[in-house]
Chain A
């Protein structure tokens, strides 16, 4: 029972070191799957399929071959186009609506705010089919091609990720002092002019964070793109399954494709991490 002979101070120190160690252990466990993804992507398909690993001789073969095995560049480009378009539109709509919620006490503000959250309650399966039928109907009657097009997916994703982006932008606008706009309006700016020329430039970090946030979510979406596209507008979540169909041979390439599809969001996230984290947590903590 040496613990009893320790002074309180020494004991607290021991507990502290133990908790430090626990923290790093948890971090290691959390990062282990990511490490495994990286290691596996640096192996050869054949060996990996039998469970063999050669850590001393990593190879980039999988990263070279994955573009031939599956038409991955098409999926990658589609993902980039659709997610960028949707994130831009969502940021634009969310910043104007978020500003309205942050600054104006207009009739219907509360119902609007609740409806924005309410959209999250609708299961995707509920409006997926009507949306699909609507796309077909628009094609037949107006000739507007939305099924299996970039435009169609951009519209759908814009609508999806605008609601939460609105709340994100609202918290950014609440952090900007009102005096800025008041001063601008005293100087003769219109209400919209104050928003456009004074508030928006000051909310630039928030806009970037909002863009990245919407981009992250659009990048992740599978259900709708699986049903509303067929070939030309298919994105990475669809494309990556083509490696699984041929699972036995292409494990390393599948892992390499996983790395390649994680990189854009990883870079975007860490480049804007400070603002994004601030925006996400400010809304949660301050209300």
Chain B
């Protein structure tokens, strides 16, 4: 996705053309390029750019139940929405916001760590020659195909405290735990959404890493083995550095998608997952569409996007030298 330079036009048709005609040809070919991207650009502008600008605009508005009928003409609020979230200690929304920020950070960290770490580990396992390797590789992808909302209803059923299969396994069948934990309420509920998220995200990560592992030059490993490097050293000093570009891309998108996760907590824990598992997206959507606090929701969305821009900047500093030509 990142490293190939765009091909040049140096290999134009090998026909004898006068320089002037060649220039016109280049112009007309480039004009074709603009026509080719036009539909995608139109959709991006209409569905992404304009509404995004609208979202920023609304964050400076006092849009709530009473002013909603005025749509864009709602009274301005200046920076009041932002102030309430960030600095107004007396505002009841603020503690919910801070809690959601913390939950989202924890959720994102463990989901991305589990997905990338697990994905790499499974890719290493499946990269070994083994009987039934092909079948194992294909079947390993299955969780990625299960839709998020099915993941959520399935795991909600499995997490049930009294009849769920997870507690049956932990308590009744193996006796690993003495008491039945409650998973869908309280402190455990964040883990109740982290674990299924890792389960669903891991296969795709595995797929990318596996493709990366297969493209690594074999002779490097043979040379290293001859020099007496053990398996761990070969992994640490050959595999990991060579996979860095792939890890970088997975990390970038993994963090973004985890931070914007909505379907799994919403379907599994309902519109209000409770203070222990409320994420940014569930909070914003609930405050906007259940409580009609649209101004608050818009301001929180803008802050969330600024946080992601900051993450991209940090990521860029850390990994720019791994990507020959940036995305």
Contact = CB atoms under 8 A, between A and B. Distances in A.
Interface of A: 16, 19-20, 22-24, 26-27, 30-31, 33-34, 36-37, 40, 48-51, 92-94, 96-97, 99-107, 109, 112-117, 119-131, 133-134, 136-137, 155-156, 158-160, 162-163, 166-167, 171, 174, 178, 182, 185-186, 191-192, 195, 216, 219-223, 227, 236-237, 240-241, 243-244, 251, 254-255, 258, 261-262, 265-266, 269-270, 273, 277, 280-287
Contacts of A162: 40, 43-44
Contact of B327 (A23, A113, A134, A171): A113
Contacts of B14: 182, 186
A133 B139 CA distance: 44
Given A51-B163, A127-B52, A106 B305 contact: no
Given A104-B30, A159-B43, A125 B288 contact: yes
B85 to A, nearest CB: 14
Given A119-B48, A159-B44, 18 more contacts: A23-B130, A30-B140, A93-B43, A100-B32, A121-B256, A123-B308, A124-B260, A125-B285, A126-B51, A126-B298, A178-B11, A191-B29, A236-B147, A240-B153, A261-B150, A277-B207, A281-B208, A284-B249
Query: Which of under 10, 10 to 19, 20 to 34, or 35 or more describes the interface residues of B?
Result: 35 or more
A284 B37 contact: no
Contacts of A37: 146, 150, 154
A126 B305 contact: yes
B108 interface: no
Given A27-B139, A136-B71, A130 B58 contact: yes
B262 A287 contact: no
Given A105-B6, A105-B8, A127-B51, A34 B1 contact: no
B71 A285 contact: no
Contact of A102 (B7, B139, B150, B308): B7
Contact of B11 (A114, A160, A182): A182
Contacts of B34: 100, 106
A280 B13 contact: no
Contacts of B101: none
Contacts of A129: 54-55, 58, 288, 294, 297-298
A97 B36 contact: yes
B6 A23 contact: no
Ranked nearest first, the 3 interchain pairs of A and B with the lowest CB-CB distance are: A287-B3, A130-B54, A51-B163
B301 A258 contact: no
B235 interface: no
B162 interface: yes
B99 interface: no
Q: Which of A33, A49, A94 has the most CB of B within 10 A?
A: A33
Nearest to B29: A191
